[in-house]
Structure 1
Amino acid sequence: MIFINQVYQYINKEEKNRIRIIDIDEPIVYYVELHGDTAMPKRFALANLEAEIQGQVLLSIPDPYAKSYSDKDLTSKQIEKRDADWQVVNDYWEVNKHQLLEKKTRENIFIEIADKTNISKLKIKRIFTRFWQRGLNKNALLPDYMHSGGKGKERDLSNSKVGRPRKFNLADDGQQGINFTDEVKKQFAYVIKKYYRQKNQITLAETYDYLLREFYSDKYQENNEVKFNVWDASRVPTYNQFYYWFKKYEDPQLDIVMRKSSKEYDLKHRPILNNSTNETDGPGTRFQIDATIADIYLISSFDRTLIIGRPIVYAVIDVYSRLITGIYVGLEGPSWIGAMMALDNMMINKVEYCSQFGIPIEDGQWPARHLPEIIIADRGEFEGYSVENLINNLNIKIENTSAYRGDLKGIVERQFRTINGKVKRKTPGAIQKEFRERGDRDYRLDATLNLQEFTKVVIHLVLNHNEKIIDKYPLEKGMITSGLTATPINLWNWGIANKKGHLQTITNRSVFRLNVLPKGNARITRAGLKFKNLFYGSEKAMTEQWYVKNKNTSIEIVYDPRDMNQIYIPHVDGRNFDSCYLLSTSEQYKGDTLEEIQFYQEMLQELKAKQVSEQRENAINADVAIEEIVKLAMKEKKKVEQRHINKSEKLKNIRVNRQAEKTINREIEKFDLNPTVPSEKADVIDFGTKEKLNEKPAQTNNSRLFEKLRKKRDEEFERE
């Protein structure tokens, strides 16, 4: 229900957001905004107002002017001013309500009241504005003396206590908080949604402050700064009330999802009601694979003075038994290459592998050399690269976890924490603190182990893990009756003997590597198989005449980006392949990795681009020079054309003219093997007589030559 004198607040507007209902005349409702010193009534459809309240666009709030004043607490000046203004309202409000509410007739009523009361029209507007805004009662017309003050002036104190009221009511005779109503609950729900359930993760106490600012305070300006004056304690909800309501209607899952993310909830807060072991029915059903950056800095194997950074550790673990079935310690990754190396290690003989590092073991200490039925991995490494080959050719299913869901690979993640913990305690150069304090020694300077030595450390940790008792492992009845101790090796062996067989073996390591190497597409050209701008040759391509029959078609190949000397064309069965070798046209990249080749090619493209830019500049300058030459020639031609020589004269004797021009060029172009020229005597000019100055100079050699050519041309013309 909507009542006269109710106050509402729009929750989606920053300014001018509070209104008071001053009259209802169905289907119209009249309201006034609670800002400005001359706010006039506005009309609005009652149905629309109810819809906004129903949609919680408009919330009911406590009346900000609902204060109780006793005349004995007021000064005579306040009472005098209030009563004078009330006389105006009392005489004209009820009598002229309809005219004052309507915009068309309101102005005339104000003029009429001003004439009768001898008060300015503006003052009349302000009286009625204050009456409408502050509660439609007599005390709404009280002047704001309580907000006045003499800033910087000393005050005359009376017996009444001045200053801010006490924070706590020691006598406990005052009301604290307000009654819980549905409207108050809507206000609480609004600020929780708008402020608390956001990514900036403000506290509940800060959210309570926003509640007071939004609904239980008055906005004002001081020194051009917007400030808020919170109402007295008897008119606002307490923090305890707000906290009680929040806890009563709390939705922890929604709070975590909105304040952090759904991934954060799934990873750290979701209920864990199942065990990953229950998802398997024996060794080899599921292997988990993951990578971590080890918390240790290593040194170079070639120069122990060089620090090479932190290594990458990949691990493959059997979900059923917790046995680590494969590892990779190196500098590749986290990437498909690192994962590929771990998968390659997964299916090799571990006795031979450990012997490469001088660690003698028996086959029973690390019996894993198998492929699983399912591999659980991150989307990053296994989304793309060779996954289809694993599925189609080796019958291995791939289950990619969601992004940021390390909990779905909880077993291998937990082992990484264990490994990193031991590395920190046992090895120099390990990261001891996430952030070093001032004066702390840089732990990177303590780096001592190289990559091979750290690999030995990891192997020993793996061997120790495989024989370590697993706490809280859900032992089956058969395990208990057989007296089984829950170590990974015991569980592995018991599962092989008593469970379904899911383990696969591959005797040909090259076949496995063929199916885990990255894939690409090479194009058949007349110059060879083109891949990554490199050209390869193939005996099969030559024998079957691919370069002629299948020109410009693509074929699928596999390659090792660490060595681009060869690429491989896999057969359909995934068990055999044809090798392709690097041709002489690309031999300059022999022995380079793909990264190095791409770097060189990018550098070459940059050089070409730079050269093209310079060529364009030279071409532009050449065009300008040519245009200038043509321009000057055109000027000279125009000078000659002034003689009005007709077309026939221009076109005749071309052969004779050519011969004359050739003779002149020969004179200029001829070789002189004795370039020394004797010095010529200086000409002596006699200024004695005017006649000598007017004499013609002697003919030059060129003049004589032209004269001779002219005679020769005339003779040839006469003979013709």
Structure 2
Amino acid sequence: MQIQKNDVITDENGIVLRILEVRENESFVVECNKKRMPYWISNEVILEYQQYELAEINDVTEESATSIMHRRYTMIADILPVMVDEKLRCDAIADASVQYGISKQTIRSYLWMYLVAQDKKALAPNIKKIDNKELTLDEKNMRWALNKFFYSMNKNSLSGAYKMMLHAKYCDNEGKLNLSYPSFHQFRYFYRKTKKQQNYIISRYGLKKYQRDKRPCIGDSVQSFASAPGVGMLDSTVCDIYLVDDAGNVVGRPILTACVDAYSGLCCGYTLTWEGGVYSLRELMLNVIKDKTTYCKEFGIHISENEWPSKQLMGRFVTDMGKEYCTDTFAQLSELGVTITSLPAYRPELKGPVERFFKMIQDYYKPHLKGKGIIEPDFQERGVKDYRKSACLNLREFEIIVLRCIILYNSKRIIKDFPYDEMMLKNKVRPHSNTIWNWGITLPGVNLIDASEKKLVLTLLPRTKGRFNRFGLNVNKLRYYNSIFTEEYLTGADSVVAYNPDDVSNIWLITNDSQYIRFDLIESRFNGKRLAMVQEAQEEQKKLVSMEKEDNLQAEIDLVVHIQAITSNVIDSGNKNTKDIRNNRKKEVGMQHRNIAGEVIKHGE
């Protein structure tokens, strides 16, 4: 056999060698099946060996394994040139051990692994595979006990779950423990080895708690929604203050509803009311498109247009799953070109700007209204003062305070974490919502819609079906008319109409091209009244009619009895002469005619 460098050979005893260096009479070899340093061996001995082929090394695909492989090779790279000199090799191994902070034996192990394979891939660590071995009976019992007793809304302790497992799985019929059962340390070890934090939170505290308070928040949510002004985030909150009416009677806590631009954080509109739901949304939309300088003057506040520059409708509204946002009435905004996006439940961070707005507005006024109806954090504790008794502000006074807070929020609040770009820095855009808004409306992608108050109000009116007939257009059991619809009254047809629940005097028929045609109420007694009052009156009338039905039926039966009594005594003479009917009538008229005036006057004397 010809001896060549890097050949792999084996003898009859199974010893496998790799030839590292070949000289005239000897060769430098390393054993492949025994971890030891290389040594010199006579060429005459090697001639008795046979060729051998080592198993192929798999490719390294894991990035972490590749990094470790290169680091290990770097540790032995300076040793390879001096391998054949034992003294220099030992010195190099010692130096590498000190330099890389690992033992000499580890360096030797890496060196041997590389020399045997002559490939860096041999230095890659083994990737631990998932252990799919079958669970033992005890492990199955522990898994069952954890799922049943520990991962539950009962929130049992780990030791409590362990005792319940012993009672259920390791006791005889008399409740005595078996001789063999897992220890609590084994139970705790199995729990820690298999524990998943997500499963722990959801099973013990519920999915709502996890989604709201524990779920990882790792997205740039707001910037993904808005790259320019035009995305309005809507929400409402109950203010932490009790208010009174003009007479000083405690009314309760008002509801603040707001629309905040996701890009700039500007409050584009608000409403402060006692009534929430669709009513507050309608008022909010009107406030969004109002000129804010004119609006503030109504409260005796004078501002410049730059301090509150918004007066257009947002092209996109982002809402949560509140019932007022899921109504068909709110969805009708799409007729104006508005897109409505509903967020999943328990995701407040996706509408962070409006949540932050509510917090900051209340933080502005609460320190200055203590003792005037403000609710403190300890309001549910025993013996605490009843904050309702200290209420002294009415709704208008409180609204002026809120309005002042909003102006401060829009024009003076410093936004420290806004993602400034180079152009904003170059133009020295001030870190306030109003200035960022004014900058943003010059950007591409601005989504703002011009809308008149009348068109907006008509769009947000609730709708129902109306039917034409000869008596008018019937809507909500009331009749309406418009003189140009004569043909529809005669032929009958269904239509979609918008109505005002606060005044039934008019309704608006909606045509196929989204035009609103006004109809007037025929039943004038209901003019100016609310729909609820009209329906109440109609229901009351229905009850009155229903109560008299039995008497009416009895009266009709009595009439039948009287008629039959009269007709039963009449004798039919049979053959009748029909030729003298006219003369008979004339004679009978003369007999029945009375001097009514003479009788009355004479009787009066």
TM-score > 0.5 by shorter chain = yes
Q: Does the aligned pair in 2 maintain the 1:559–1:568 contact within 8 Å?
A: yes
Return the letter of the residue paired with 2:219.
N
1:395-450 Cα offsets, whole Å, 9 max, x none, are: 11111123444343222122223333445433322222465444433211222222
Q: Once the 2 structures are TM-superposed, how far is the Cα of residue 571 of structure 1 from its aligned partner?
A: 4.2
Change (3 A) 1:528 1:355: same
The counterpart of 2:442, out of the listed 497, 500, 504, is 497
The counterpart of 2:273, out of the listed 312, 318, 330, is 330
Change (3 A) 1:288 1:654: closer
Please state whether the residue corresponding to 2:265 is helix, strand or coil: coil
Deviation larger for 356-365 or 426-435: 426-435
**Gaps in structure 2 of 5+ consecutive residues:** 1-133, 575-605
Q: Once the 2 structures are TM-superposed, how far is the Cα of residue 519 of structure 1 from its aligned partner?
A: 2.0
The counterpart of 1:402, out of the listed 341, 344, 348, is 344
Does 2:503 align with 1:563? yes
RMSD: 3.4
Q: Once the 2 structures are TM-superposed, how far is the Cα of residue 565 of structure 1 from its aligned partner?
A: 2.1
Q: Once the 2 structures are TM-superposed, how far is the Cα of residue 654 of structure 1 from its aligned partner?
A: 7.4
Counterpart Cα distance in 1 of 2:145 and 2:232: 47
Q: Once the 2 structures are TM-superposed, how far is the Cα of residue 499 of structure 1 from its aligned partner?
A: 4.4
The counterpart of 1:190, out of the listed 140, 144, 159, is 144
Return the letter of the residue paired with 1:308.
V
- Which residue does the alignment assign to 1:342? 284
Does 2:248 align with 1:308? no
1:455-510 Cα offsets, whole Å, 9 max, x none, are: 2122112111112112433333433444444321122122123443322223x321
Change (3 A) 1:572 1:245: same
Q: Number of matched residues? A: 432
1:332-376 Cα offsets, whole Å, 9 max, x none, are: 21x122112111111111111111111111101110111222111
- Which residue does the alignment assign to 1:237? 183
Does 2:520 align with 1:578? no
Q: Does the aligned pair in 2 maintain the 1:295–1:430 contact within 8 Å?
A: yes
Return the letter of the residue paired with 2:292.
K
Please state whether the residue corresponding to 1:321 is helix, strand or coil: coil
TM-score (norm 1): 0.54
Change (3 A) 1:195 1:478: farther
Counterpart Cα distance in 1 of 2:189 and 2:544: 70
Counterpart Cα distance in 1 of 2:173 and 2:487: 86
- Within 5 Å, give how 1:39-54 maps onto structure 2: none
- Which residue does the alignment assign to 1:415? 357
- Which residue does the alignment assign to 1:458? 402
1:203-224 Cα offsets, whole Å, 9 max, x none, are: 444433322322234454xxxx
- Within 5 Å, give how 1:211-230 maps onto structure 2: 211-218=165-172, 220=174, 228-229=175-176
- Which residue does the alignment assign to 2:584? none
Question: Max radius of gyration: which structure?
Answer: 1
Q: Does the aligned pair in 2 maintain the 1:281–1:499 contact within 8 Å?
A: no
- Within 5 Å, give how 1:599-678 maps onto structure 2: 599-612=536-549, 615=551
- Which residue does the alignment assign to 2:530? 593
TM-score (norm 2): 0.64
Does 2:382 align with 1:445? no
Please state whether the residue corresponding to 2:314 is helix, strand or coil: coil
- Which residue does the alignment assign to 2:476? 532
The counterpart of 1:252, out of the listed 197, 222, 244, is 197
Change (3 A) 1:653 1:367: closer
**Gaps in structure 1 of 5+ consecutive residues:** 1-179, 221-227, 634-649, 657-720
- Identity over aligned pairs, percent: 28
Change (3 A) 1:438 1:256: closer
1:262-295 Cα offsets, whole Å, 9 max, x none, are: 4443332222222233224543341111111222
Does 2:208 align with 1:267? no
Q: Once the 2 structures are TM-superposed, how far is the Cα of residue 321 of structure 1 from its aligned partner?
A: 0.5
Counterpart Cα distance in 2 of 1:245 and 1:485: 57
Counterpart Cα distance in 2 of 1:399 and 1:376: 5
- Which residue does the alignment assign to 2:494? 554
Q: Does the aligned pair in 2 maintain the 1:376–1:401 contact within 8 Å?
A: yes
Please state whether the residue corresponding to 1:523 is helix, strand or coil: strand
